[in-house]
Structure 1
Amino acid sequence: MEGVFRLVLVSVVFLSSQISCQEAILHISNGSTYREYCIVHNHSWTPLSPTLDAATQYPLVNLTWTLLCDATGVNPDVVKGKALVVMRGDCDFSQKAIVAQFLGATTLLIASNTTLITPSANDSEYSKVKIPLALMRYRDLKEAQQLFPEGMQAQLYAPPYPTIDPSIAVILFLSVVTVSLGGYWSGACERDRLNGCTEGGGGSEGKADSGELSLYSPLKVFIFVAMMCGMLVLMYYFYNILVYIIIAIFCLASASALFGCLDAVLDKIGCSLLSVTVLNKSFSVRSVLLAAVCISIAVVWGVYRNEDRWIWILQDLLGVAFCLNFLRTISLSNFKICVVLLSLLLLYDVFFVFITPFLTKNGVSIMVQVALGPDASAEKTQGNMVEIPAEPQPPSEKLPVVMRVPRFSAWAQNLCGMQFSILGFGDIIVPGLLVAYCSRFDVWTNSSKKIYFVSCCIAYVLGMILTFAVMLLSGMGQPALLYLVPFTLITSAVVAACRGEMKQFWAGTTYEVLDPTRERLLPEGRSERCVEGESC
Structure 2
Amino acid sequence: RMSRAVALTAGLVLQVACEYGMVHVVSQAGGPEGKDYCILYNPQWAHLPHDLTKASFLQLRNWTASLLCSAADLPARGFSNQIPLVARGNCTFYEKVRLAQGSGARGLLIVSRERLVPPGGNKTQYDEIGIPVALLSYKDMLDIFRRFGRMVRAALYAPKEPVLDYNMVIIFIMAVGTVAIGGYWAGSRDVKKRYMKHKRDDGPEKQEDEAVDVTPVMTCVFVVMCCSMLVLLYYFYDLLVYVVIGIFCLASATGLYSCLAPCVRRLPFGKCRIPNNSLPYFHKRPQARMLLLALFCVAVSVVWGVFRNEDQWAWVLQDALGIAFCLYMLKTIRLPTFKVSAGRSGSSIMVEVATGPSDSATREKLPMVLKVPRLNSSPLALCDRPFSLLGFGDILVPGLLVAYCHRFDIQVQSSRVYFVACTIAYGVGLLVTFMALALMQRGQPALLYLVPCTLVTSCAVALWRRELGVFWTGSGFAKVLPPSPWAPAPADGPQPPKDSATPLSPQPPSEEPATSPWPAEQSPKSRTSEEMGAGAPMREPGIPAEPEGRDQAQPSPVTQPGASA
1:358-397 residue pairs with structure 2 within 5 A? 370-374=353-357, 376-377=358-359, 395-397=362-364
Q: Give the equivalent residue in structure 2 for 1:526.
A: none
Does 2:219 correspond to 1:221?
A: yes
Deviation digits for residues 148-170 of structure 1, max 9, x if unmatched?
A: 77744332234555332122211
Aligned pair count reads 455
Q: What SS does the aligned partner of 1:400 have?
A: coil
Aligned partners of 2:475 and 2:367: how far apart in 1?
Answer: 36
1:42 aligned partner: 41
Counterpart residue number, 1:364? none
Q: Give the structure 2 partner of residue 279 of structure 1.
A: 276
Alignment of 1:455 onto 2:458: no
Deviating more after overlay: 302-311 vs 79-88: 79-88
Distance of 1:271 and 1:480 partners within structure 2:
44
Aligned residue for 1:53, secondary structure, equals helix
* Matched AA of 2:388: S
> Which structure has the bigger radius of gyration?
2
Q: CA deviation at 1:27?
A: 1.2
* Equivalent residue, structure 2, for 1:196: 196
Of 428, 432, 436, the residue aligned with 2:399 is: 432
Matches for 1:312-331 after TM superposition, within 5 Å: 312-331=315-334
- CA, structure 1 residues 40+223, in 2 after alignment: closer, same or farther (shift >3 Å)? same
Residues 20-61 of structure 1, C-alpha deviations (whole Å, 9 max, x = no match): 982413314224336546241337444433444332122334
Alignment of 1:430-509 (within 5 A): 430-448=397-415, 450-509=416-475
Q: Name the SS for the 1:409 alignment partner.
A: coil
The gaps in structure 2 that reach 5 residues or longer are 1-17, 201-205, 278-283, 480-494, 500-565
Does the CA contact (< 8 Å) of 2:184 and 2:403 recur in 1? Answer: yes
Q: Bigger CA drift: 86-95 or 454-463? A: 86-95
Identity value in percent: 41
Q: Is the 8 A contact 1:212 1:329 kept in 2?
A: yes
Cα shift readout 1:469-525 (whole Å, capped 9, x = no counterpart) = 111221111111111111111111111111100000001035459xxxxxxxxxxxx
Residues in 2 aligned to 1:26 and 1:114: alpha-carbon distance in whole angstroms: 22
Shift of 1:426: 0.5
Structure 2 residue matching 1:421: 3-state secondary structure: strand
State how far apart, in whole Å, the 1-side matches of 2:245 and 2:75 are.
57
Match of residue 400 from structure 1 = 367
Aligned residue for 2:475, secondary structure, equals coil
Report the CA distance between 1:444 and its aligned residue: 1.0
Provide runs of 4+ in structure 1 moved above 6 Å.
146-150, 411-415, 531-535
Change (3 A) 1:108 1:193: same
Distance 1:48 1:99 in 2: 20
**Offset, 1:427:** 0.6
**Amino acid paired to 1:42:** Y
Q: 1:191 to 1:98 in 2, by over 3 A?
A: same
Residue 493 of structure 1 aligns to which amino acid in structure 2?
C
Q: How does 1:507-518 map to 2 (within 5 A)?
A: 507-509=473-475, 511=477
Deviations 1:117-170 (A, max 9, x none): 343444554444322222224465566567777744332234555332122211
Local SS of the residue matching 2:286: strand
CA distance in structure 1 between the aligned counterparts of 2:288 and 2:191, rounded to whole angstroms: 28
**TM-score of the superposition, structure 1-length normalised?**
0.75
Answer yes or no: is the 8 Å Cα contact 1:85–1:110 preserved in 2. Answer: yes
Larger relative contact order, structure 1 or 2 (CA cutoff 8 Å, min sep 6)? 1
Q: Distance in 1 between matches of 2:466 and 2:323?
A: 35
Further displaced range: 159-168 or 487-496: 159-168
Give 3-state SS (helix, strand or coil) of 2:154's partner. strand
What 5-or-longer segments of structure 1 have no aligned partner?
A: 1-19, 203-207, 354-366, 379-393, 514-530
**SS at 2:312 equivalent:** coil
92 and 62 in structure 1: CA distance in 2 versus 1, 3 angstrom threshold: same
Look up the equivalent residue of 1:504 and give its one-letter code: V
Aligned-pair CA distance for 1:219:
3.4
Give the C-alpha shift of residue 468 in structure 1: 1.5
Q: Distance in 2 between matches of 1:72 and 1:66?
A: 10
1:22 matches 2:25: no
Quote how far apart the aligned CAs of 1:101 are.
2.6
Contact 1:27 1:156 in 2 (8 A): no
Kindly report which structure 2 residues correspond to 1:109-124, keeping only aligned pairs within 5 A, or say none.
109-124=109-124
Is 1:84 matched with 2:84? yes
Question: Taking structure 1 as reference, are residues 209 and 334 closer, same or farther at Cα in structure 2, changes over 3 Å only?
Answer: farther
Q: Secondary structure at the match of 1:223?
A: helix
Q: For 1:71 and 1:170, how far apart are their aligned partners in 2?
A: 54
Q: Partners in 2 of 1:137 and 1:217 — Cα distance?
A: 50
Pair 37,465 (structure 1): closer, same or farther in 2 beyond 3 Å: closer
Q: Distance in 1 between matches of 2:178 and 2:295?
A: 24
Q: 1:225 to 1:306 in 2, by over 3 A?
A: same
Conserved 8 A contact 2:356-2:365: yes
User: 2:214·2:335 contact (CA, 8 Å) conserved in 1?
Assistant: yes
Q: Does the C-alpha gap of structure 1 residues 169 and 122 become closer, same or farther in structure 2, counting only changes over 3 Å?
A: farther
Aligned to 1:237: 235
> Deviations for 1:308-341, whole angstroms, at most 9, x for unmatched residues?
221111111110000001001100001111111x
The one-character-per-residue Cα deviations of 1:172-229 (angstroms, maximum 9, x if unpaired) are: 11111111111000111123123325xx559xxxxx9642333354333223322332
- Take 1:441 and 1:154, find their aligned partners in 2: how far apart are those partners? 63
